[in-house]
């Protein structure tokens, strides 16, 4: 079973529950605290204003008032405590020593009244309430995380299990189905849709492989018969030099067909190519240039070959694959370069390229041309749009890379990077 990802869906859900709860709790606590504090100030201002009127009446009747807490005099008079003389009318919270006081200042004509109340114990109670609120928010976050964990187990775990099973589906036998292991809900519907799609593709791929295998098997017999006939003709008939050359070309064409069939079978079965003959890029390029030279001359195209690197131990690669890659790139240049163009085949130790000075490939088509059945603006009748697609399939199979570089107006350069082969010896 695959290791859970660091930020899996389940973990994100738990994190989201906790984060939303934390933000909601902090917001509610902050708004509540602000609102209560603002309301408290207004109520204290009103209440202490009423208390001042009551104490004034008491003092006017000869009562003691509030010694040390109630003061009357002109603004700034010495009767007021020194640290309170500069206060203007209003309500204040202030520390005096270790005690917290509420102070209300009110003017009535030339007289100023000041009343003080000790609210230290009350504020301690408020701090306790705030602490309880913070603890409640923490509990809410823990509760949300617990709910998130329950949701993960009940909702997300089946999704993660389905994702794991879908990842491992390629290792199961053909026509296996996943839907039976999941409940008949949305997850089961997704599993059913995946089963239908995957099995349909699996059957289509199997039909393609069988078709390719059948074609390869059925065509080998007539090709072997044709090769045998060529050998009989060479041994039993006194052929002229021209006839012998034609017979040699026929044999070479049949052998080339056999190698192409082997290439297609290898791609269809996803096999390795250990049984193929291996050669250097330079040797294969020389062979293909010689093979394609007559066709280029008929189209009045100039085909040239350059070896830009001569390493002491060049890499060796499967000959049928190199022939197919280079042959399709040359055929593409033959079809699109245009008359009187120059075509260059260049090789290095582990790369090859085909360049022509034709009109080039539009920038918006440079990736699409590697897709099956995509052709240029003026394709020939024999061009099915499969050559460059086959080139890319071979490169992907072998771990090579193929790129096209075609600025507006040309030249167009296809470059294949083959990399260093694991074993460069002939096999």
pLDDT of residue 424: 45
Q: Is 22 found in the same domain as 89?
A: yes
Structure-block tokens of residue 8 = 């899996």
Q: Is 16 found in the same domain as 75?
A: yes
Name beta bridge partners: 96.
Answer: 99
CATH of the domain at 305: 3.30.565.10
Residue at which a domain ends, from 122, 146, 170: 146
CA separation for the pair 300, 327 (Å, rounded) = 18
- Provide φ and ψ at 274, rounded to 5°: -65, -25
Nearest to 324 by CA among 295, 348, 358, 352: 352
pLDDT of residue 326: 92
CATH of the domain at 247: 1.10.287
Q: How is 407-426 classified by DSSP, letter by letter?
A: -TT--EEEEEE----S--S-
What is the extent of the structural domain holding 249?
A: 186-269
- Kindly tell me if the per-residue pLDDT of 120 is higher than 50: yes
More confident residue, 323 or 10: 323
**Number of CB atoms found within 10 A of residue 108's CB:** 12
CA 29 to chain centre: 40
Q: Is 320 found in the same domain as 383?
A: yes
pLDDT of residue 183: 78
pLDDT of residue 304: 93
Burial 28-51 (b: 16+ CB within 10 A, else e): ebeeeeeeeeeebeeebbeebeeb
Q: Is 235 found in the same domain as 201?
A: yes
Structure-block tokens of residue 130 = 């705030």
Q: Is 245 found in the same domain as 319?
A: no
CATH of the domain at 90: 3.30.450
Does residue 427 lie in a domain region? no
Taking the CA atoms of 397, 400, 406 and 410 in sequence, report the sign of the dihedral they define. negative
- Kindly tell me if the per-residue pLDDT of 373 is higher than 50: yes
- Kindly tell me if the per-residue pLDDT of 380 is higher than 80: no
| Contact yes or no for 73/59 (Cβ under 8 A) | no
Residue 4: pLDDT band with limits 50, 70, 90: very low
Contacts of 58 (CB under 8 A, 6+ apart): 64, 65
Structure-block tokens of residue 391 = 């080139």
**Number of CB atoms found within 10 A of residue 276's CB:** 18
| Contact yes or no for 59/51 (Cβ under 8 A) | no
3-state helix, strand, coil in the chain (%, to 5): 55, 15, 30
Per-residue pLDDT of 37-86, as tens digits, reads: 788 788 888 888 898 888 888 888 777 778 888 998 898 888 888 888 88
- Kindly tell me if the per-residue pLDDT of 217 is higher than 80: no
Residue at which a domain ends, from 146, 167, 198: 146
- Kindly tell me if the per-residue pLDDT of 242 is higher than 90: no
Does residue 342 lie in a domain region? yes
If you ran DSSP here, which 8-state letter would residue 400 be given?
Answer: -
Lowest mean per-residue pLDDT among 65-69, 239-243, 371-375: 371-375
pLDDT of residue 186: 81
Q: Is 291 found in the same domain as 412?
A: yes
Does residue 224 lie in a domain region? yes
pLDDT of residue 378: 52
Per-residue pLDDT of 324-350, as tens digits, reads: 899 889 988 888 887 778 999 999 888
- Kindly tell me if the per-residue pLDDT of 401 is higher than 70: yes
Q: DSSP 3-state assignment of 353?
A: strand
Q: Is 286 found in the same domain as 402?
A: yes
- Provide φ and ψ at 354, rounded to 5°: -125, 125
pLDDT of residue 156: 73
Nearest to 115 by CA among 84, 75, 70, 72: 70
Lowest mean per-residue pLDDT among 212-216, 403-407, 418-422: 212-216
Q: Is 284 found in the same domain as 410?
A: yes
CA separation for the pair 253, 269 (Å, rounded) = 24
Q: Is 224 found in the same domain as 191?
A: yes
- Kindly tell me if the per-residue pLDDT of 10 is higher than 70: no
Lowest mean per-residue pLDDT among 60-74, 91-105, 205-219, 252-266: 205-219
> Which range, 58-72, 105-119, 194-208, has the best average confidence (pLDDT)?
105-119
pLDDT of residue 427: 38
Residue at which a domain ends, from 269, 298, 332: 269
CA separation for the pair 132, 25 (Å, rounded) = 12
Average pLDDT over residues 200-221: 73
Does residue 1 lie in a domain region? no
- Kindly tell me if the per-residue pLDDT of 301 is higher than 50: yes
pLDDT of residue 289: 92
> Which range, 154-163, 376-385, 416-425, has the best average confidence (pLDDT)?
154-163
Nearest to 180 by CA among 170, 168, 169, 195: 195
More confident residue, 28 or 322: 322
pLDDT of residue 1: 41
Q: Is 407 found in the same domain as 320?
A: yes
Does residue 155 lie in a domain region? no
pLDDT of residue 383: 52
pLDDT of residue 344: 93
Does residue 163 lie in a domain region? no
- Indicate the average pLDDT of the chain: 80
Q: Is 89 found in the same domain as 16?
A: yes
**Structural domains of the chain, count:** 3
Q: Is 257 found in the same domain as 293?
A: no
pLDDT of residue 6: 56
- Kindly tell me if the per-residue pLDDT of 417 is higher than 60: yes
pLDDT of residue 15: 74
């Amino acid at each position: 079973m695959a290791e859970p990802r660091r930020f899996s869906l389940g973990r994100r859900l738990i994190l989201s529950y906790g984060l939303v709860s934390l933000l909601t709790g902090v917001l509610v606590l902050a708004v509540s605290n602000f609102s209560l504090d603002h309301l408290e100030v207004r109520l204290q201002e009103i209440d202490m204003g009423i208390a001042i009127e009551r104490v004034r009446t008491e003092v006017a009747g000869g009562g003691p008032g509030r010694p040390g807490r109630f003061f009357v005099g002109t603004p700034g008079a010495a009767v007021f405590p020194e640290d309170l003389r500069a206060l203007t009318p209003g309500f204040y919270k202030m520390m005096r020593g270790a005690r917290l006081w509420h102070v209300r200042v009110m003017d009535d004509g030339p007289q100023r009244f000041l009343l003080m109340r000790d609210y230290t114990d009350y504020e301690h109670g408020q701090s306790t309430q705030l602490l309880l609120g913070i603890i409640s928010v923490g509990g809410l976050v823990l509760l949300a995380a617990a709910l998130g964990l329950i949701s993960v187990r009940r909702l997300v775990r089946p999704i993660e299990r389905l994702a794991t099973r879908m990842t491992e589906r390629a290792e199961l036998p053909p026509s296996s189905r996943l839907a039976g292991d999941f409940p008949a809900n949305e997850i089961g519907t997704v599993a059913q849709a995946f089963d239908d799609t995957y099995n349909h593709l699996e059957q289509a791929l199997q039909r393609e492989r069988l078709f390719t295998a059948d074609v390869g098997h059925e065509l080998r017999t007539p090709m072997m018969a044709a090769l045998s006939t060529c050998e009989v003709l060479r041994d039993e008939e006194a052929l002229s030099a021209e006839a012998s050359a034609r017979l040699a070309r026929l044999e070479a064409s049949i052998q080339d067909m056999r190698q192409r069939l082997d290439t297609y079978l290898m791609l269809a079965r996803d096999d390795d190519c250990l049984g193929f003959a291996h050669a250097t890029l330079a040797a294969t390029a020389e062979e293909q240039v010689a093979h394609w030279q007559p066709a280029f001359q008929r189209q009045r195209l100039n085909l040239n070959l350059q070896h830009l690197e001569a390493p002491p131990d060049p890499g060796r690669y499967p000959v049928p694959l190199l022939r197919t890659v280079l042959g399709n790139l040359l055929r593409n240049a033959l079809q699109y370069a245009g008359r009187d163009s120059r075509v260059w085949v260049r090789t290095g130790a582990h790369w090859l390229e085909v360049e022509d000075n034709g009109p080039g490939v539009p920038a918006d088509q440079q990736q699409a041309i590697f897709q099956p059945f995509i052709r240029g603006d003026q394709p020939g009748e024999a061009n099915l749009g499969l050559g460059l697609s086959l080139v890319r399939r071979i490169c992907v199979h072998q771990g090579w890379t193929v790129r096209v570089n075609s600025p507006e107006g040309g030249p167009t350069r296809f470059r294949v990077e083959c990399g260093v082969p694991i074993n460069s010896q002939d096999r």
